[in-house]
Chains A and B, each alone.
Chain A
Amino acid sequence: DAGVIQSPRHEVTEMGQEVTLRCKPISGHDYLFWYRQTMMRGLELLIYFNNNVPIDDSGMPEDRFSAKMPNASFSTLKIQPSEPRDSAVYFCASSLQKGGATFGSGTRLTVV
């Protein structure tokens, strides 16, 4: 299995621009999670999906953040407009039922 695949690995963008992060979960997994990791706040859960349906988006920091999962093999996290404080590593993870989640390699986002 190729594992959870995230793209891009690195993204540098200017403040105010739209950023789209992509994720392909492990085939057959029914849960998908988006996390953000910073030194100050650690690993924060932003949103998670079950069978492509968003279950809890209470961790999404602002309306500038949105996430979609149009099918079982693809999800996006969009930030529009981006701000310097959004700079972080964004992880996508997937799991089967209520087991532990497998993480992707992450996207390091820098907003200048």
Chain B
Amino acid sequence: QKEVEQNSGPLSVPEGAIASLNCTYSDRGSQSFFWYRQYSGKSPELIMSIYSNGDKEDGRFTAQLNKASQYVSLLIRDSQPSDSATYLCAASYSSASKIIFGSGTRLSIRP
């Protein structure tokens, strides 16, 4: 079983709307969670980190963590065409610092 699961998409969202990206993880020992954005042909770029239950906001981005449900999400408000990319969810275990990635969700913002 894959340790971090994401819907591969593509997810198509109209410009200006809210994009919602979801991720589940299998290891309850995971304590650190990350969202990365990867443009085609580029390297992954860290956009959000979250370590405790609840919401964390940074500009147009909100990360949500629910450890009881083993669920992480990323909301992008006022979506822009420049947000079109693949979004990778990642988890790090408490017993080690290995960072495991999901397969990514392709997001397309249509004008």
Contact = CB atoms under 8 A, between A and B. Distances in A.
Interface stretch (B53-61, B72-80, B100-108): B100-108
Interface string A71-112: 000000000000000000001010101111111111000000
B100 A45 contact: yes
Nearest to B43: A103
Contacts of B32: 98-100
Contacts of B92: 98
Contact of B43 (A31, A56, A97, A105): A105
Interface string A55-69: 110000000000000
A-side interface size class = 20 to 34
Interface in B28-72: 31-32, 34, 36, 42-46, 49
B21 interface: no
B99 A101 contact: yes
Contact of A103 (B31, B44, B49, B96): B44
Given A42-B103, A103-B45, 16 more contacts: A33-B99, A43-B104, A45-B98, A48-B97, A50-B97, A55-B97, A91-B43, A91-B44, A95-B97, A98-B97, A100-B36, A100-B46, A101-B34, A103-B43, A103-B44, A105-B43
30 contacts: A33-B99, A42-B101, A42-B102, A42-B103, A42-B104, A43-B88, A43-B101, A45-B98, A45-B101, A48-B97, A50-B97, A55-B96, A56-B96, A56-B98, A91-B43, A98-B31, A98-B92, A98-B97, A100-B32, A100-B34, A100-B46, A100-B99, A101-B46, A101-B99, A102-B46, A103-B43, A103-B44, A105-B42, A105-B43, A106-B43
